[in-house]
Amino acid sequence: MARQTIAADTSSFLFDRKIESATAGLPKYYETVLKERTGKKNSLTITEYIAAMQTEINPADNYRANNIVTLTKLSRLHQDKLFVEMNRADIIAFLDTYRKPESSF
């Protein structure tokens, strides 16, 4: 029983550290978005993506913030369906939310 508690605490601690690392230099809002507004597995995927991006291209803070918000919106639109389970139709439905209606042209 004690091992499960320690493992859960460690897992939670590591999860929090990954979020802190992904949102370093950004307002606290982005940390809150990842912790409270997205499913834990998708939040972890987003933080791993941000970490990989930081290693490869060292993105600007605004770029990281935009990626966090956009991926969080994608996750929420599909009720926190795992990113790996999303299909083309899910992505198109998300992109359609950004499309301007033809009447506005």
Q: What pLDDT does residue 5 have?
A: 47
Examine the pLDDT at 11 and tell me if it is beyond 60.
yes
Mean per-residue pLDDT, 88-98: 96
Examine the pLDDT at 103 and tell me if it is beyond 80.
no
Mean per-residue pLDDT, 81-101: 95
Q: Which two tokens stand for residue 82?
A: 């795992």
Q: Which two tokens stand for residue 75?
A: 């996750």
Rounded to two decimals, the pTM is 0.83
Q: Which two tokens stand for residue 16?
A: 């929090």
* Average pLDDT score over the chain: 89
What sign results for the dihedral spanned by CA atoms 98, 61, 38, 48?
positive
For 18-69, the three-class secondary structure string (H helix, E strand, C coil) is HHHHHCCCCCHHHHHHHHHCCCHHHHHHHHHHHHHHHHHCCCCHHHHHHHHH
Locate the domains of the chain by residue range: 2-104
Q: What pLDDT does residue 12 have?
A: 85
